[in-house]
Amino acid sequence: MSKFIADIRPVLDHTSCEQVQWLGKSVWGGTGEAVAPNPLLITLTKNGGILLAAYLPDGPDELDGMVGFVFGFPAHERDSYGQTVAKHCSHQLAVLPNFRRKGIGLQLKLAQRDAVLAQGMTEKITWTFDPLQRVNAIFNLESLGVISQTYIKNAYGDLDDDLNIGLTTDRLQVDWNLTSPRVLRAIARQNQDTLSHEHLYILSEPKTDKDCNVYIPTNEKYGALAVPLPNKIDNRAKSEQANLSLWRQFLESALTSAFDIGYTLSGCHALPNMGHHYILITDPKT
């Protein structure tokens, strides 16, 4: 994978915000409702929101070379003690198809991390992603070092973009603890948790709806859990809808059950001769 060093800078003017909208529409398709309206982008960027765009010399002329963007804003949540604490909510990350797998998404996220830390309000960013999207799972969990303990059923309701139309919008919310040892290891490209099959409980792939009522043993000898992911699925293909629905049910049952008994999602690994699996552990090194 060849790497490109992008020029990443804040988006602050009307024209650049319109270019962000155009880029988002070209990535997600549909009617463009997935992209925030221009007045909202302008308002948020002038009031603590962070909108960064990546530019390359060979990027589209009509976008002045813009090839990707990341967008988020200050927010808050309740901690385990019920106290209100600040966080940054990362809403969207997009890179044009012809410029993917070149490290631009990672550069955008690291620039977002720097910008949030520079604000001095929080050291945590959260966002959501579709648990069926294996590439996003690997990027989030392995390259960035996020963790998750939250599964959200139909988070956004019905969406009309090409990736979501006809599907429930189930999402995993991830926590990116920006200065944690785990995140520092990930962005330094150091190995995360090592797996021992001796203490790994591996769930079977779903074949029918009956396999979607997942039971996870609570025997203490299982220090880690492996939840299978489907091979690459094309969300845009109508022929895949039944298979997507089956996997959606399975992952909802498996992940919510695991979270309920104390597991934390911490990785996405390819197991030998078994394909990719989500890895959940009981004692994450955060």
- Percent of the chain whose predicted confidence (pLDDT) is above 90: 72
172 and 71, same domain (yes or no):
yes
| Interval 162-212: pLDDT, tens | 555 557 789 999 999 999 999 999 999 876 656 666 679 999 999 999 999
d(CA 34, CA 96): 15
Domain final residue pick, 187, 207, 223:
187
d(CA 91, CA 126): 9
User: Is residue 192 in some structural domain?
Assistant: no
CA triple 34-38-41, angle to 5 deg:
85
94 and 35, same domain (yes or no):
yes
User: Is residue 2 in some structural domain?
Assistant: no
Domain count, the chain: 2
| Interval 75-110: pLDDT, tens | 999 988 999 999 999 999 999 999 999 999 999 999
131 and 33, same domain (yes or no):
yes
Domain of 21, CATH number, reads 3.40.630.30
What is the dihedral angle through the alpha carbons of 91, 67, 50, 92, rounded to the nearest 10 degrees? 0
User: Is residue 207 in some structural domain?
Assistant: yes
69 and 211, same domain (yes or no):
no
Domain housing 230: 197-281
Cβ partners under 8 Å of residue 37, min gap 6: 21
Tell me the C-alpha to C-alpha distance, in Å, between residue 19 and each of 15, 31, 66, 237. Answer: 6, 16, 8, 28
94 and 210, same domain (yes or no):
no
d(CA 31, CA 40): 18
Give the pLDDT confidence score for residue 266 in this predicted structure.
Answer: 96
Residue 2 has pLDDT above 70, yes or no: no
User: Is residue 67 in some structural domain?
Assistant: yes
Phi-psi category of residue 102: left, alpha or beta, with phi > 0 → left and psi -120 to 50 → alpha: alpha
d(CA 73, CA 5): 25
Q: Which residue has better confidence, 283 or 243?
A: 243
Q: 175-185 burial, b if ≥16 CB within 10 A, otherwise e?
A: bbbbebebbee
Domain final residue pick, 187, 217, 246:
187
| Interval 203-238: pLDDT, tens | 999 999 999 999 998 876 778 999 999 987 665 555
30 and 136, same domain (yes or no):
yes
The model scores a pTM over 0.85: yes
User: Is residue 116 in some structural domain?
Assistant: yes
Q: Position of tokens 């990116």? A: 176
| Interval 118-135: pLDDT, tens | 999 999 999 999 999 999
| Interval 244-258: pLDDT, tens | 889 999 999 999 999
Domain final residue pick, 156, 187, 218:
187
38 and 172, same domain (yes or no):
yes
- Compute the average pLDDT of residues 261-275: 93
181 and 112, same domain (yes or no):
yes
| Interval 42-60: pLDDT, tens | 999 999 999 999 999 999 9
Helix/strand/coil for 244: helix
User: Is residue 286 in some structural domain?
Assistant: no
Give the pLDDT confidence score for residue 285 in this predicted structure.
Answer: 63
